[in-house]
Amino acid sequence: MSLPIEPTLAPMEAESVEEMPAGDGWQYEPKWDGFRCLVFRDGDSVLLQSKAGQPLARYFPELVEIFKRLPAPRYVLDGEIAVPVDGKLSFDDLLQRIHPAESRVKKLAAQTPAVFIVFDLLVDEVGGSLVSHPLSERRGKLEAFAKAQFEGERSLELSPATRDVSQAREWLAGVGGDLDGVVAKRLDEPYISGERAMKKVKLWRTADCVVGGFRYGSKTMIVGSLLLGLYDEDGRLDHVGFCSSLKVSEREALTPKLEKLVAPPGFTGRTPGGPSRWSTERTGEWQPLEPKLVVEVQYDHFSQDRFRHGTRFMRWRPDKAPRQCTLEQVARKRRGSGPESSRRNG
């Protein structure tokens, strides 16, 4: 017997909105500060798949062993990989796990073991697909699955969920630390693979962008700013702004990494302009990069197809595929104008 869905299944995604959906028929969940992951178990085989469809098992061997220990011989789970440090989830420590050296991965897995926070069940313990079932039914089956399967496994946690919008608003007010926001899902909807069928609310406007190029700083060969790009509906990478809020130590370490990726054209749609009236001749020049790096930035305003001011660097996103960074994420926003202690208890 094999799984009824393939590991190529794309996870259901979320549309960014500025207001919390309210009314009957919604379920609210914390949006955890980690890597989205689908877990496929079929007998002795365990696959961990990122949101971008990339394998994650080699980076989290401790989780693979845990999934193999569960009594159920087959299942598919949707959830978030996170790394707790001193009682809080640490995205910086999570990023350290994406490392090419196996010895380094093993050392980090022992020092700062990851946890998996589960929020959906797509294939049950007898191998039955649940993707066509409504969330209200999948959630009940997930809670029963967790109760039967997770006993004694402290690295597996059932994510809390509520139908009370006031509780969801309390979670949103406490964003920071473990939480990245709140996700709202329709109770009557099936699992819609690859589509933005959920709603996510954050206190801060953020966007995932491709680093399509960079500029050196004035009178130096150290990176001064990152040039940000988003893909349009025709698949062209448009330049949409810049980010210069990097620490000096970060700039020095980042420069050689970027220089290894220098290759034209960088941007295939709109390209960065020349020097502004505040720039020198040097800062008007830019280096094109292969579209491989994704960065999350915070911004205050997006209009006329660009960030109107410089953005604030949030973090690197190696778990995101560059082609997932589209103008749609900011266009949707433009048209719209504390559960840490309860993670285990759901």
Enter the tokens of residue 99.
């490392």
The DSSP-derived string for 211-278 is EEEEEEPTTSSSEEEEEEEEE-TTS-EEEEEEE----HHHHHHHHHHHHTTB-S-S-SSS------TT
Indicate the Cα dihedral angle 89, 202, 132, 71, nearest 10°: 10
In angstroms, the CA 63 to CA 155 distance is 8
Last residue within a domain, chosen from 166, 201, 236: 201
98 falls within a domain? yes
Domain containing 98: what range? Answer: 13-201
C-alpha radius of gyration, the chain, whole number: 21
338 falls within a domain? no
Active-site residue, 31 included:
yes
Examine the domain organization and report whether 132 and 73 are in the same domain: yes
345 falls within a domain? no
Examine the domain organization and report whether 128 and 192 are in the same domain: yes
340 falls within a domain? no
In angstroms, the CA 270 to CA 91 distance is 32
Quick check: helix, strand or coil at residue 66?
Answer: helix
Q: For the whole model, what pTM was predicted?
A: 0.72
Last residue within a domain, chosen from 201, 223, 246: 201
Examine the domain organization and report whether 113 and 216 are in the same domain: no
Last residue within a domain, chosen from 149, 179, 201: 201
Q: Which helix (H) or strand (E) holds 144?
A: helix 135-149
Please tell me which residue in 31, 185, 202, 333 is annotated as part of the active site: 31
Task: Identify the CATH number of the domain in which residue 118 sits.
Answer: 3.30.470.30
pLDDT digits (tens, 9 = 90+) for 258-282: 999 999 999 999 999 743 333 344 4
44 falls within a domain? yes
Total number of domains in the chain: 2
Task: Identify the CATH number of the domain in which residue 280 sits.
Answer: 2.40.50.140
Examine the domain organization and report whether 306 and 236 are in the same domain: yes
Examine the domain organization and report whether 137 and 165 are in the same domain: yes
Amino acid at 37: C
Percent of the chain with pLDDT over 70: 91
Examine the domain organization and report whether 31 and 116 are in the same domain: yes
pLDDT digits (tens, 9 = 90+) for 121-151: 999 999 999 999 999 999 999 999 999 999 9
7 falls within a domain? no
213 falls within a domain? yes
2 falls within a domain? no
Average pLDDT per run of 10 along the chain, which is 346 residues long?
Answer: 86 90 95 93 96 93 96 97 90 86 92 97 96 98 97 95 94 76 96 94 88 92 95 95 90 94 94 52 74 93 80 92 91 47 46
